[in-house]
Structure 1
Amino acid sequence: MRQKGTLGWLKHDLTHRGPTAWLLTVGLFAFYFILYYGGRTLAGVPVPDLFTPLAQLLHLPSKWTFYGLLYTLAVTLGGGYVIYKYRHNRYQVVRTSVVIFVQATLAFSVPWVLSIFEQPEYYFSYLWPLKIEYFYPSTILSMPLPFILFSLLGSLILVPLLGIFFGKRWYCSWVCGCGGLANTAGEPFRHLSNKSTRAWNFEKWSIHITLFLALVTTALVIASWGVGENYPAFAERTASLRSLYGFVVVTLLSGIIGVALYPVGGTRVWCRYFCPMAAILGLVQKFGRYRIRVKDNMCISCGMCSTYCEMGIDVRAYAQRNQDFVRASCVGCGICAEVCPRGVLRLENRWRRDPQELSMDALLNESYRD
């Protein structure tokens, strides 16, 4: 509901794709464009570097450390807002607190401290294929042994294992910095996610194509490292593919588009449509324990769950059918359960319900007569 007064209009305009929201989107695009290309010359036009002087003023190593500081502040301040907003919900308070802690430590402070001690700036909260360079031989072999083991075991064992037991929410809604920003600073825009069938169909293709590109790029870079000296043409083409992947996926989709579209496209454009880590965890989640439990015959079809689903899932359709469900795109943020006025939804980590339990439910509901 729109609140009265100038501030009420501004809030509504900003969170409902008004002119203010579009201006903010343009501003975010400009911010990221200058961040990535500041100090370069594009098409004969020099792009000013505004962030390096600010980093030097604050005695930070680089503009990327300065950006990390801004990012962490955004997650922390936005997280404070979310904790206050959902202070009655223990799950949201704990989850958001963990998000802030992980961002402030593993994604910012620890890499900074490592660089001070002349060690590689390793981001422990990011794993392959999200951090695709962590499987590139030229990168991984330059790291200390513990970092190498963490990269390999974390990506190949920890990620799928935890995905089986807890779904993708353990990473996408508790650890990952991309999801961390979406669920904190991006909270006011979560309802803007596209709920159409067309968006869902696009999502199914786009996210798995990105995963395929990540797998192919990684495999070719490893192969090029092994035979590059004997096949220089192959190594050159692989380097071009690596550069193209870095520009399109890492810079454009996850960086510029992923954040700049918050005010008009919702907070999970990158996570929903393009993130290769989300694609892997989504596939694992379909066969794991995580699911959303629906209480039978309780849904009043208000649609709040679907409206505030940041991944564009039509949660109401499942609730209306009394159908427990798991969707590959669900990140387990828990807001659907939070906004439901009747407590119809519950996030669970369990295998499919026991046949005896199902039979008892059928008896109590008298559905055996249908």
Structure 2
Amino acid sequence: MNVPAPAHLLSLATASPSHSMRQDEVLEAATQLFDGRFPQFERMAPVFKHAGVLTRQLAMPVEWYLQPRTWPERSAVYDEVALDLFCEAARRALDEAGLTGAEIDVIVTVSSTGLSTPSLQARAIARMGFRPDAAGIPVFGLGCAGGATGLGLAARLATAQPGCRVLLVCVELCSVAFRMEDFSKVDIISTAIFGDGAAACVLSTGADGFAAVAGYAEHTWPDTLDIMGWRVRPDGLAVVLARALPPFVRKEIRLAMERMLASQGLTVEDVDRFICHPGGMKVIEAIEGAFGLGQGALDRERDVLADHGNMSSPTVLFALDRIRQAGLPRRSVVTAMGPGFTTSTVTLAA
């Protein structure tokens, strides 16, 4: 029986919007907005100092967020800025791989912070020079898990058609969901941690890259739909984020990881480095505790959170990029959690 050749990561690139804000600037703007309109803001304000975020990049200047916005206005920003980030990250990934857009066979686009029809990939054809017969696969609804799930999907597609070249692009504009009406505690927390960004990579079985995809797995917990996701509001999408997430991760993630790795003949101890989505400081600490890594072990993840905030799906690929620049170990596992409630893993062999 012939064993399919593994998909290799040929390149990895990131992109960020040009509008940057320091966390103290975000806190100042949030104080102007929330204080007096949300009675519990003063008590919750310390979350900005303890979120682990020092700066972040946003789709629009801060003034844009200080006025009520309709769903069409948010969608227009998404169509423009998400497309720019898509093309920037994709072009950088193609350049590193030594390829052009015309040499890509499949484009997987992961995004959950906006709706675009035609898809971002279709809008990018002229700019990127994609072939008319390239397959486009837009994926919505994965949230923060999208970077890991998308990477696993791209690897499956590359393996299924040996020699084809698959471009994965994850792009999110979390800030576009910022709302000025009907405030909740979740809106305060979201304002403290979320940012915007994109990441892209090229995979193929036809060439060696900086890592091979050795396996992938997912796990969805039953009766957990209320932990994370979106609510549809008249003015756009509103975030759902349960306060119980860090305790849930601390309690549940180890067993789920053991089961996912067991399907590949591995144990937690066989992994040299877990490359995790830094959803927030408390989540990072919960993961370190659950895996027995020691506080501070997820150092690159902390760095990404500090420099960019939680960008949803591309964030774990930002962490992977930093770790691969420092030197990937022999075996690593890319992992992220998102709505469902789901965790996804991709095992890499360097």
Would the TM-score normalized by the shorter structure come out above 0.5? no
Higher Rg: 1
TM-score by length of 1: 0.28
Structure ranking higher in helix proportion: 1
